[in-house]
Chains A and B, each alone.
Chain A
Amino acid sequence: MRKIFGTILLGITLVLVYVLDHPIGTRFPALGRLLDPVNGCWANAENVNYDFNWENKFPTLHHEVEVWLDDHLVPHIKASDDHDLYFIQGYFTASFRLWQMDMQTRAAAGRLAEVVGRGEGDKILNFDRKQRRKGMVYAAERSLEKMESDPATRLMMDAYTEGVNAYVAKLKKRDLPLEYKLMGFAPEKWTNLRISLLLKYMADDLTGYTEDIPLTFLRDLLLPEQFELLFPGKIPASNTVIPSGTEFSPATLNQAQAPAGSLFPHFFTGKNGGGKPTAVNNEPSARDEASGIGSNNWALSGSRTKSGAAILCNDPHLTLNLPSLWFEAQLQAPGINVFGATLPGAPGVVIGFNDSVSWGFTNNYRDVKDFYEISEADAGHYLLNGRPLAYENRVEVIGVKGEADVTDTVHYTVHGPVMYDKHFVEPDGFTRPLAVRWKAHDPSNELKAFYLLNRARNYLGFTEALGFYECPAQNMLYADRRGHIALWGQGSFVNKWKDQGRYIMNGSDSATLWHELIPMTENPHASDPEQGYLASANQCVTDSTYPYWYNGYFYEFRAWRINQVLQGLSKATVEDMFALQNDNYSWLAGHVLPVILKRLSPDVVRSKWAVDLAAWDCRLEPNSKNATFFQTWWYGLYHGLWDDRFKNVPDKLLPLPEVTMDLLKNGFRGVIPENDVDKLISSSFVKAQDSLAKLDKSGQAEWYLAKNTTVAHLLKLPAFGYDKIKAGGWGNTVNALNGNHGPSWRMVVEMGKEINAWGIYPGGQSGNPGSKYYASFLGNWANGKYHRLVLFPAGSPPAPNQYKYTITVFP
C-alpha cells in the first residue's frame, strides 16, 4: 500500500518538477528555474556594494590593458593598440548589455519569432517578415563585405566580436542576464554581421520613414494648388540647417531633369486599373506618432560664449528604452583618446569628443527611400520597358519558437526587394506589389567614419571622416578647441529630378531608376558663419539656392525656437546650454494661441480657461494645467480640421502642424471655409473644457501626468520600466519629450583649454534590472541635470578621486 502511494507521490513530484522546469506556452518562463535562489533570478540581484575590481587574463590580447570604472560605472579603457582597445570595449559592453545587444540585432535581422514565438495575431512573425522584406539582412551583408574589406574596420570589428565572445564564453548559466532567464533562451556567438545589422537598425530607425504612399493618393485627391498649400514639402519660412545666404559651391553635375513618360502610377483615377485601397487604417498617422523623433544640435563659436571657447551641444531624440540605447565609454590607445556615447553592439564612439574636436548628429531627413510599383508579368518575372525580367529570389527562413520554420521568398528587382505584394499586404490594404529602393541597401562603411571621427585632430580630419558617411544621412556638427564650428548635411544622395521618389514611381519604366550620386563634397555645409552659431533640429536643410533638388520630412518648430534663443545669447555658458536643451517653450502655442483665442465664440471667450491661457507663458512645464488644456484643445482642433478630409488616404497623412498654424494665422484660402474653422475652434475648446474637468477630477490634469512619458523596458514589462516621468516638453519643444520618445542623450561640450563636458541619458550603465546602476541616471535626466564627462588624459594615469574601480587585463 505504502509502495503504491509512494509511487504515485513520486510520480506527482516528478510531474511537478517537469512542469516547473519547462516554459508554459511561449509567454511564461520555467518557474522552477527562474525562482531558484542559486541559479535563477536571484543570481542577478547585484550587491549594491559589488566590487568591480578584478584582474584577468585573455591570451589573445597583445598587451596589458587597464580599465578604470568611475562611480557611474563608465569604463575608461587604456590599451596599447587598436586590437586590444576594441576587444576590451566589446568585452565590457557585453558584460553590461549583452541581452540588449542580442535583441536589437535580432530585431534588425527579423529573428524575434525565433525566441518569442509568432505572437498574437502573428504580430511578431509579421514584424520579422517585414524586416526581411525591406532587405535588412541583405543590406547588412552587403555593408559587412565593404567594412571587412577595409583593414582598419576589419580589425575593429574582429577585435570587438572577439571581446564579446570572450565574455559569452566565460558566462556561466546562472550569470546570464535576467531576460534570458525570463525568455528561456541563451546568447549565441557574436558575429561581425551583428555589428552591421545594428548599424542598419539605426539606419532604419532614422531613414525608414516615408510618405510616398499617402502623397501619391493625396496628389490625385487634391487640386494642385491645394496640394501645394497643404503639403509643401519644404516650409518657406524655415530657419534652414545651413543658414540662408551661405554660398554653395557650384554644382559639378547638372540638376537631373524629369524624363518623359508615365513616371508615377495614379490610384484614385483608375487609370492603371487601380482603385481605392480596400481597407484604411484608423490608427493615428505615423507622422503624428513620429512627431519629435529627431534631434537637436547646435554649436556656438567663441564670439558668442562667455569663456571665448566654442561650445557644442547635441541631444538625439529616439525611442526611450531600458536598457538604454547608449553606453558611455572612454577609449584610449596610441592615436586615439575619445569619450562619448557608444552604441552597445558596435565598436567606437558615435557621439562625443576627443582632446581636439567634438561632434554631434541630428537626423537629416532627406528622403533616401523610394517605393516602386512593380508590374508582374508571370510568377517569376516582372516588366521593365515592356520586357520581362526574372526576379532574383532570396529565400528567407524565419525560425518560430515551438514551431516549424516559416519560409518567405523575397523577389528582388532592379528597384530593390518587393516588400509588399499579395503574400505580404501593405498594412493599409494596398494590394499591389511595391518594391523599395533604399540608400541603406547600398554597401557603405560608416564604421570607418566613426573610426576617423574618433581620431580627428582638426576640421580636415573631420571632413575626411565624413567622406565615409553615407547612410543614415545626418546633420553633422563640429566644434574644435581652436574655436571653429561647422555643420554638414551629410550622407550619400542621388541627383534626383524634381519629385523623383516623392511619390510611388512607375517601376516598369527604367526612366524612374536612381542614377548618379551627388559628389559628397557638394553636400550642403557651412563653417564659421557670420552669425556665430550653427543649429539643426530636423528642419529643411537648405534654402532654394542649393543647386540640387531633394525632398524630405522636415520639422520646423524646434529649429525656430533654437535660433530665437541662440540669437539672443552673446556670452553663453554651459548653464545656458543646459537651459536650452531643457526648454519647454512651445513655439506652436506661442504663435497659434493669440490667433485662436481671438476667434473663440462670445459665449466661451471669457471662460476661465480662455482667460488663463491668455496669460500663460506657453511653456509645457510638468505641473502646468494650461499646458494640458492647450495640447488637448490643439489636438481636437487639428484632427477636427483634417481627419475627415483625408480619411480615405492610406497611411493617414495630415498637413503638418507648421502648415496648419500658418493657415490659421493667414487664412485657409478656400480649403476650409473660415466660418467652419471658427466653429471648430470653439467646439474643440468646449470639448477640451470637458476633458480637463474629467482629468481634474481624477487628479490627472497636470501636464506630466496627462502626457505620461514612459521609459519602457525593451520587453515592455512594466515591472522593469518607468512611467509618469515628471518632466515637461512635447515633440515640438526643444526638450522634445513626448510619450515614449525624447532626448536619448544630452551632451554639452565646451572646447576650452580644459574641455568642460557634460552629459546624461535616461537609463544607466548596467542593463541588469537587478542592479542599482540600471536606471541610475533617470532621475537627474528628468530634472534636466547632467554629470561631468571626464576625458582622462593620455600619458599619465588618472587621479585617484576620478575613478572607483580598477580592472587590469593581462595577455
Chain B
Amino acid sequence: MRTTISIILIAFLSSIAEFFLPWWSIMPVAFGVAWTLRLRGGAAFFAGVAGIAIFWIPNMIFKDFANEHILSSRMAVLFFKAPNYALFIAVCASVGCLIGGLSAWSGSLLRRGD
C-alpha cells in the first residue's frame, strides 16, 4: 500500500515539479517521497522507477502519437542510425527511471539508517 501511494506521489509531484523546474527535479521528488514514507530499500527503488515510468512513458507516447513519430524517428536515427522510435522512447524512459529509482533508494537508506 505504502509503495503504491509512493508511486502515485512520485509521479504526481514530479510532473508538477517538472512544469516549473528542470528535468533533475525528479531526483529530489523521488528522494523526498521515499524518505517521508520510510520505504524499504527494494520497494523504494521499485517505487522510484515505477513513479517516473508512469509519468514519463505515457507523456512520451501521447506526444509521439500526436506527432506521428516524426520527431522520435529522427532522434532515433540520430542516436542509433535507425528510425526505431520505440527504442528511443525506451532509452528516454530508462534514463528517468534509473534516476528515479536510485534517488528513492538512497532516500530510503538514509532515512532508515537512523
Give A residues with C-beta under 8 Å from B. Answer: 1-3, 5-7, 9-10, 12-14, 16-17, 20-21, 31-33, 35-42, 44-49, 178, 717-720, 769-772, 774
Q: Are B71 and A16 in contact (CB under 8 A)?
A: no
| Of listed B67, B102, B108, residue having the most chain A CB within 10 A | B67
Q: Are B24 and A32 in contact (CB under 8 A)?
A: yes
Q: Are A36 and B18 in contact (CB under 8 A)?
A: yes
Q: Are B59 and A2 in contact (CB under 8 A)?
A: no
Q: Are A9 and B71 in contact (CB under 8 A)?
A: no
Q: Chain B: which residue is nearest A5 at the CB level?
A: B109
Q: Are B67 and A47 in contact (CB under 8 A)?
A: yes
* A10-B106, A16-B99 given; A720·B74 CB < 8 A: yes
Q: Which residues of chain B in 7-59 are interfacial with respect to chain A, using CB atoms and an 8 Å cutoff?
A: 15, 18-19, 22-24, 27, 31, 56, 59
Other 15 A-B pairs with CB < 8 A, given A32-B24, A45-B64: A3-B109, A6-B113, A7-B106, A7-B110, A10-B31, A13-B102, A16-B102, A37-B56, A37-B63, A38-B15, A38-B19, A42-B59, A45-B67, A49-B66, A178-B71
3 residue pairs, one from A and one from B, having the closest CB atoms: A6-B109, A770-B71, A3-B113
B72 within 8 A of A: yes
* A16-B99, A45-B66 given; A37·B78 CB < 8 A: no
Q: Are B64 and A13 in contact (CB under 8 A)?
A: no
Q: What's the minimum C-beta distance from A97 to chain B, rounded to whole angstroms?
A: 17
Of the candidates B22, B70, B78, which one forms a contact with A39 in the assembled complex, judged by CB atoms under 8 Å apart? Answer: B22
Q: What's the minimum C-beta distance from A433 to chain B, rounded to whole angstroms?
A: 44
* A2-B113, A32-B24 given; A12·B102 CB < 8 A: yes
Of the candidates A13, A42, A48, which one forms a contact with B99 in the assembled complex, judged by CB atoms under 8 Å apart? Answer: A13
B95 within 8 A of A: yes
Q: Are B67 and A46 in contact (CB under 8 A)?
A: yes
Report how far A23 CA is from B64 CA in the complex, Å.
25
Q: What's the minimum C-beta distance from A498 to chain B, rounded to whole angstroms?
A: 55
Q: What's the minimum C-beta distance from A48 to chain B, rounded to whole angstroms?
A: 5
Q: Chain A: which residue is nearest B17 at the CB level?
A: A38
Residues on A with C-beta less than 8 A from B5 are none
How big is chain B's contact interface, by range? 35 or more
Q: What's the minimum C-beta distance from B40 to chain A, rounded to whole angstroms?
A: 11
Of the candidates B22, B67, B70, B92, which one forms a contact with A21 in the assembled complex, judged by CB atoms under 8 Å apart? Answer: B22
B75 within 8 A of A: yes
Report how far A786 CA is from B112 CA in the complex, Å.
69
Q: What's the minimum C-beta distance from B30 to chain A, rounded to whole angstroms?
A: 9
Report how far A719 CA is from B81 CA in the complex, Å.
8
Report how far A39 CA is from B96 CA in the complex, Å.
13
Q: What's the minimum C-beta distance from B35 to chain A, rounded to whole angstroms?
A: 10
Of the candidates B74, B75, B103, which one forms a contact with A13 in the assembled complex, judged by CB atoms under 8 Å apart? Answer: B103
Give B residues with C-beta under 8 Å from A. Answer: 15, 18-19, 22-24, 27, 31, 56, 59-60, 63-64, 66-68, 70-72, 74-75, 77-78, 91-92, 95-96, 98-99, 102-103, 105-106, 108-110, 112-113
Report how far A12 CA is from B23 CA in the complex, Å.
17
Residues on A with C-beta less than 8 A from B56 are 37
Q: Are B77 and A719 in contact (CB under 8 A)?
A: yes
Residues on B with C-beta less than 8 A from A36 are 18, 22-23, 92, 96
Report how far A331 CA is from B100 CA in the complex, Å.
51
Provide 9 A-B residue pairs closer than 8 Å at the C-beta atoms, listed in order of the A residue: A3-B110, A7-B110, A9-B105, A12-B102, A16-B99, A33-B22, A47-B63, A49-B66, A719-B74
Residues on B with C-beta less than 8 A from A720 are 74, 78
Q: What's the minimum C-beta distance from B70 to chain A, rounded to whole angstroms?
A: 6
Report how far A33 CA is from B92 CA in the complex, Å.
10
Residues on B with C-beta less than 8 A from A14 are 27
Q: Chain A: which residue is nearest B95 at the CB level?
A: A35
* A16-B102, A20-B99, A770-B74 given; A42·B24 CB < 8 A: no
Residues on A with C-beta less than 8 A from B24 are 17, 20-21, 32
Report how far A7 CA is from B95 CA in the complex, Å.
21
Dominant secondary structure of chain A at its interface with chain B = helix
Residues on A with C-beta less than 8 A from B113 are 1-3, 6
Q: Chain B: which residue is nearest A30 at the CB level?
A: B23
Of the candidates B23, B31, B68, B109, which one forms a contact with A40 in the assembled complex, judged by CB atoms under 8 Å apart? Answer: B23
Q: What's the minimum C-beta distance from B68 to chain A, rounded to whole angstroms?
A: 5
Of the candidates B23, B108, B110, which one forms a contact with A38 in the assembled complex, judged by CB atoms under 8 Å apart? Answer: B23
Q: What's the minimum C-beta distance from A326 to chain B, rounded to whole angstroms?
A: 22
* A42-B63, A45-B67, A719-B75 given; A37·B27 CB < 8 A: no
Q: Are A45 and B70 in contact (CB under 8 A)?
A: yes
| Of listed A35, A39, A40, A770, residue having the most chain B CB within 10 A | A35
Residues on B with C-beta less than 8 A from A37 are 56, 59-60, 63, 92, 96
Q: Are A41 and B106 in contact (CB under 8 A)?
A: no
Q: What's the minimum C-beta distance from A338 to chain B, rounded to whole angstroms?
A: 32
Q: Are A9 and B106 in contact (CB under 8 A)?
A: yes
Q: Are B59 and A38 in contact (CB under 8 A)?
A: yes
Q: What's the minimum C-beta distance from A242 to chain B, rounded to whole angstroms?
A: 47
Residues on B with C-beta less than 8 A from A44 are 71
Report how far A40 CA is from B95 CA in the complex, Å.
13
Q: What's the minimum C-beta distance from B85 to chain A, rounded to whole angstroms?
A: 10
Q: What's the minimum C-beta distance from A175 to chain B, rounded to whole angstroms?
A: 13
Q: Chain B: which residue is nearest A42 at the CB level?
A: B63
Report how far A31 CA is from B23 CA in the complex, Å.
10
Q: Are B106 and A6 in contact (CB under 8 A)?
A: yes
| Of listed A9, A32, A38, residue having the most chain B CB within 10 A | A38
| Of listed A7, A12, A31, A770, residue having the most chain B CB within 10 A | A770
Residues on B with C-beta less than 8 A from A6 are 106, 108-110, 113
Q: Chain B: which residue is nearest A720 at the CB level?
A: B74
Q: Chain B: which residue is nearest A178 at the CB level?
A: B71
Q: What's the minimum C-beta distance from B8 to chain A, rounded to whole angstroms?
A: 18
Q: Are B63 and A45 in contact (CB under 8 A)?
A: yes
Q: What's the minimum C-beta distance from A766 to chain B, rounded to whole angstroms?
A: 11
Residues on B with C-beta less than 8 A from A42 are 59-60, 63-64, 71, 92
Q: What's the minimum C-beta distance from B48 to chain A, rounded to whole angstroms?
A: 10
Q: What's the minimum C-beta distance from B51 to chain A, rounded to whole angstroms?
A: 14
Report how far A31 CA is from B95 CA in the complex, Å.
9
Q: Chain A: which residue is nearest B101 at the CB level?
A: A13
Q: What's the minimum C-beta distance from A347 to chain B, rounded to whole angstroms?
A: 31
Residues on A with C-beta less than 8 A from B96 are 35-37
Q: Chain A: which residue is nearest B92 at the CB level?
A: A35
Report how far A17 CA is from B23 CA in the complex, Å.
10
Q: Chain B: which residue is nearest A768 at the CB level?
A: B71
Q: Are B23 and A39 in contact (CB under 8 A)?
A: yes
Residues on B with C-beta less than 8 A from A9 are 102, 105-106, 109
| Of listed A6, A31, A178, residue having the most chain B CB within 10 A | A6
Q: Chain B: which residue is nearest A7 at the CB level?
A: B110
Residues on A with C-beta less than 8 A from B95 are 20, 31-32, 35
Of the candidates B67, B77, B103, B108, which one forms a contact with A48 in the assembled complex, judged by CB atoms under 8 Å apart? Answer: B67
Residues on A with C-beta less than 8 A from B19 are 38
Q: What's the minimum C-beta distance from A66 to chain B, rounded to whole angstroms?
A: 28
Q: Are B78 and A48 in contact (CB under 8 A)?
A: no
Report how far A39 CA is from B21 CA in the complex, Å.
9
Q: Are B77 and A769 in contact (CB under 8 A)?
A: no
Q: Are B106 and A13 in contact (CB under 8 A)?
A: yes
Q: Chain A: which residue is nearest B28 at the CB level?
A: A17
Residues on A with C-beta less than 8 A from B23 are 21, 32-33, 36, 38-40
Q: Chain B: which residue is nearest A31 at the CB level?
A: B95
Q: What's the minimum C-beta distance from A509 to chain B, rounded to whole angstroms?
A: 56
| Of listed B75, B96, B108, residue having the most chain A CB within 10 A | B75
Q: Are A45 and B106 in contact (CB under 8 A)?
A: no
Residues on B with C-beta less than 8 A from A46 are 67, 70-71
Q: Chain B: which residue is nearest A771 at the CB level?
A: B70
Residues on B with C-beta less than 8 A from A178 are 71
* A5-B109, A6-B110, A769-B74 given; A38·B67 CB < 8 A: no
Q: What's the minimum C-beta distance from A19 to chain B, rounded to whole angstroms?
A: 11
